[in-house]
Chains A and B, each alone.
Chain A
Amino acid sequence: MSVTAAPRVELDYTGSERLTMNMGPQHPSAHGVFRAILTLEGETVVGVDAVIGYLHRCHEKLAETLTYAQYPSIASKTDYVAAMTSEFAYVRAAEIIGKIDVPKRAQYLRVITSELQRVASHLLWLGTWCLDMGGALGGGATIFLYCIRERELILDLFESLVGARLLYGFYQVGGVRYDIPTGWAAKCLETVDLIDQRINEYERMLEENPFFLVRTQGVGVISRELAQEVGIGGPLLRGSGVAYDIRRGEPYSSYEDFDFRVPVETSGDCLARYRVRMAEFRESLKIVRQVLDGLPEGPISSRPGLKSVAQTRIPKGEAYARVEGARGEVGCYLIADGSAKPYRMKWRGASFSNLAVLPHIIPGHKVADVVAIMGSVDPVFGEVDR
């Protein structure tokens, strides 16, 4: 019996075969529902089609059906990781159109909640991002659990202030809803001091870790020009060398009273965005201390106890109000027609614009870097999809 060798199959492989890979919408690193259709050549990504909209609730249509008193607590459901910010943008837009004054104490309370929110949001970003980059950072979930532990302290503060831990409804047109309870300021100072100290610890853990530097340095570079053209904001914009912060450029809610620095990095990579956010932690904590030091006495709202729909009316007009959120410029373009509900409301979600930069920066990177880049952008899909 003779054995014949199987005919040899010649593979016409040139090394440039393209593979389409689906990532998401239930990918753990997406921190939400995001689908990326990647085109690969080997391990290298050559094309990205970002698919969003899985969490779309049409907030803009919803806002047309709710009064100016009702919507702020819904607004917090756009960016649920930094819920205070979107409420802030909405009530500011209504206040600009209606020329409604906000008492000084309310302005300071808005500042302190915004800054605590920024710290809480950055903590969640740091924890999840390091978790995404995984075991390479020495111990997988260590940083994640540390960050969640600290974020919990801030949520405790919010809980004793508002009664809610995630979605607050703290802002209302003309002021804020609650004043700080007894003992809150002391508790807040204690928390701020603790977090300040812990941040040094994280920095030591990460920046002395060569794996961390390899995963972030020179990865996902956004140029200064691209950053502006796409309209990314916040730590991404400042990580790309644009020294722009709305709190400084167009101060609102008494931000001009506080002394803080706008951290800027020029390299535009994941490490730059990390550095900007780490510096922002400290600046935010600095602002919180200043607010507690100089919190003026007085009313917390210029329109307390609205009883009827007629009282919530805003005169005809339009305004674009923006605030510096944890993820960048959160804007609300509001058109009022004189009734108690807006005629049109447009959210400029910071995450939406930030995410739009991904198709420009991911091609050329390895698949594993996609995760690091996504995490450094820090998208919250409630705000992307609205």
Chain B
Amino acid sequence: MTADQARTLIAERFSSAQVDGTAPIVISVPVDAWVPFAHFVRIDLGCRFFSFLTAVDWKEQGLEVVYKADNLDDNVSLLVKTRLGPSVTECPSLTSEYAGANWMERECYDMFGIRFDGHPDLRRILLGNDWVGHPLLKSYAVDTPHPPYR
């Protein structure tokens, strides 16, 4: 499958998705299509390689979750995004589709406070359990002290 064929297939099956670029193909999907789209990506587009998952804090526009999956045989890369909306911190989990999402979503929860519904073991991964706040949020200033010091 080429990148163009993948783009056509995405447009056919998910009319709500916005598709852009070829390497990687950047796709924005609504949050309710997050898991079905991941299933389609893995099975129909053959993107079985889970590269990474992260989030971006767009301040008042809310959080955006991003993941990348590749089809290594045909060299097709997808960067899939969804906007959660202002002050929404819930997102469906991809752990049912990709085993690699487990640690990545834990990191994302740790850094952004996003709660992944359906994650089997959602707890902090890099920071200690007693840490207050989520450092990669733009509201978590890097130059203000966060007592107690540890």
Contacts from A to B (Cβ < 8 Å): 52-53, 56, 58, 60-62, 64-65, 225-226, 228-231, 242, 244, 249-250, 320, 329, 331, 333, 335, 343-344, 346, 348, 352-353, 356, 360, 385-386
Contacts and interface: CB of A to CB of B under 8 A. Distances in A.
B54 interface: yes
Of all A-B residue pairs in the complex, the 4 with the closest CB atoms, nearest first, are A53-B126, A231-B100, A231-B50, A348-B52
Contacts of B127: 53, 56
Nearest to B103: A356
B68 interface: yes
A228 B50 contact: yes
Nearest to B143: A65
Nearest to B99: A229
Interface residues of B, number: 31
Given A231-B98, A356-B102, 19 more contacts: A52-B125, A52-B126, A53-B125, A58-B135, A58-B136, A61-B136, A61-B142, A62-B142, A231-B51, A242-B72, A249-B75, A250-B23, A320-B24, A346-B52, A352-B103, A352-B107, A353-B52, A353-B103, A360-B99
Contacts of B39: none
Contacts of A231: 49-52, 98, 100
A333 B52 contact: yes
A235 to B, nearest CB: 15
Given A244-B72, A250-B75, A61 B135 contact: yes
Contacts of A244: 49, 72
B136 A60 contact: yes
A385 B126 contact: yes
A60 B75 CA distance: 28
Contacts of B136: 58, 60-61
A331 B68 CA distance: 11
Contact of B48 (A229, A335, A346): A229
A310 B23 CA distance: 30
Contacts of A242: 72
Interface string B7-48: 000000000000000011000000000000000000000001
Given A53-B126, A64-B142, A228-B72, A331 B102 contact: no
B98 A229 contact: yes
A61 B136 CA distance: 6
A56 B126 CA distance: 6
B90 interface: no
A188 B23 CA distance: 36
Main secondary structure of the interface of B (DSSP, over half): loop
25 contacts: A52-B125, A53-B125, A53-B126, A58-B136, A64-B142, A65-B142, A225-B48, A228-B72, A229-B49, A229-B99, A231-B49, A231-B51, A231-B100, A242-B72, A250-B75, A320-B24, A329-B51, A331-B51, A331-B52, A333-B54, A344-B56, A352-B107, A353-B52, A356-B103, A360-B99
Nearest to B24: A320
Nearest to B54: A346
B97 to A, nearest CB: 9
A356 B66 CA distance: 19
B91 interface: no
A344 B49 contact: no
A228 B50 CA distance: 6
B99 A320 contact: no
B6 interface: no
A61 B54 CA distance: 13
A344 B66 CA distance: 12
A11 B72 CA distance: 55
Interface string B110-132: 01000000000000111110000
Contacts of B100: 229-231, 353, 356
Nearest to B47: A228
Residue from the set B24, B66, B100 with the largest chain A CB neighbour count within 10 Å: B100
A333 B66 contact: yes
Contacts of B66: 333
B67 to A, nearest CB: 10
Contacts of B98: 229-231
Nearest to A249: B75
A332 B48 CA distance: 20
A175 B101 CA distance: 35
Interface string B62-80: 0000101000100100010
A228 B23 contact: no
